[in-house]
Structure 1
Amino acid sequence: MSFPPLLGFSSASLGAQVRRLAVSFSLLAGVFALAPSAQAAEPVSSVRLYALDCGRVHFNDGGIFSDTGEYDGKPLDLAAPCFVIRHPKGTLLWDTGLGDALAKNKDGVDNNGIHLAVPVTLASQLERIGLAPADINVVGFSHFHFDHTGNAALFTGATWLINKAELDFALSEPTPFGVSTEAIAGYKNVKVQNVEGDYDVFGDGSVRLLKAPGHTPGHAVLMLRLAKSGVVILSGDLAHTHANYDQRRVPAFNFNRADSLASLDRVHAIAKRLKARVVIQHDPKDFAALPHFPAYLQ
């Protein structure tokens, strides 16, 4: 998700706020990263998917989320989740949310018609399942907008899966709207696995990044093969609502409209062939339909 100037406030205004949040959180990151988990997580014999609440966003006017006008003048609520995927070979965190620093503002933060809130920290949720940030082996980002990278600084001991086109986009000048370079600054000091196309995270086909550009140049979705639940696809920002996914709607602020439609077509085809459950990450109903944390899909 990003917030372009057409929302009625300057990119400098929100950019400064995002930078302040990123800097304040980075001061806390080392403390949380070194803190041991209260109780070590049990080993797993098959893939588990946990859905964590890593923030919520309310728009007074959701018009930017379709360039064909369906949301014009209408309020829109979005979830900003994170996902923990436990595999016998390691633990992956998919997207890192708005950032735990926001949790200090119990009532959230308002900015010209947008309300951001983090009711519970990612670090505390990890602890509930016996994990500390240091226990995360791999971090994958659907893309580098700040609502997906807010807690990245917690995980400098993990391998980051990074698409070069996405990183080049995030580091371009001027900084693209919606990107916090401070939030992703850790890429310079972590182990990086370059991901240019589809990528098999654990080498057995059970957890795969699928290239799906359009929202941003290096955007990806995550496909899981679960023993009991079958194939599950986590959408990133392929679509922000299930209606957008079903109707192939494109937000006005996507990087490339043609690529967005092509990626929607690709994921639709894969989901149909594999009878996959597609979870639209930002759709509150899709998020609520997942097992309530700390329960999980397997």
Structure 2
Amino acid sequence: MAVTELVVVPSTPSDDPGPGPRVDRSTRPASRLGRVVGSILLVAFALALLVPFFWMVLSSFKNPNEVFSVPVRLWPETWHWEHYVELWTDTGMATWLRNTIFLSTVVTFLQVLTGSFAAYGFAKVRFPGRDVLFLLYLGTIAVPWQSYMIPQYIMLAQFRLTNTLLAIIVLQAFGAFGVFLMKQYFESIPEELSEAARIDGLNEYSIWARIMLPLSTPALASLALLTFVNTWNDYLGPLLYLRSKENWTVQLGLKNFVANNLEADYAMLFTGLTISVIPIAVIFLLGQRFFVEGIATSGLKG
């Protein structure tokens, strides 16, 4: 009769924690101290980033001589609320804001539309040369605009689009970054949804509009926010193509407002900058949840 030996291997402390209660490492004093220190550092960095913004807002209420006074005064001695009234009535601020809002809204809509549509083709539709074409299109991001700025201007001038808002819209209606962002998000959506929709009789346009877009709200919000901010802050494009005062944007109008004054009134300049920043800050606060979610998930698959 064979004898079977039973070998007992003693468990290590890491394998068998023992009958006692388990210790949560997150409740250890060192772990709690690390979280507290990390939170303090994040708050300090956030305040450091917000200090210039608050200084700009407070400077808009100062006397022009107080803006760069030595020593630096954070709070104005006398609050000059009339700066906002004077800027609105004595300049074309209302026209500048209207043009900027119009351009930012139209360009954002077109980039979201064209970017998501092209991204769906690259992500879900199979056709010869798809990957090569996408790499070539994506490579345009690495080409600086200054390298083809003059030929582009000549082309638009031949079409008589210069000195019109349509020139800016045509230039920025398409963007390779938006296609890349949306393609990454579309690839994270299971292919089984598209296959089931095709079996049910939906064409590619219906799949894109009725399935892909509703499932891609975070990525669409991220693309819309980035496009809106970039168009709102654009200065070089309006500088080249918009010469008439009735077509100026906020950035171009404020630059000419400062250049036309022999003595730069920085208090009024900061007033205009504050007005131009408020819409962007509000939009970002409203869409930051979708922005973070869209950026965080655009690179995930599966």
Same fold judged by TM-score > 0.5?
Answer: no
Structure with bigger strand share is: 1
Higher relative contact order (CA 8 A, sep 6+): 2
Structure with more helix by fraction: 2
> Over alpha carbons, which structure has the higher Rg?
2
TM-score by length of 1: 0.23
TM-score by length of 2: 0.22
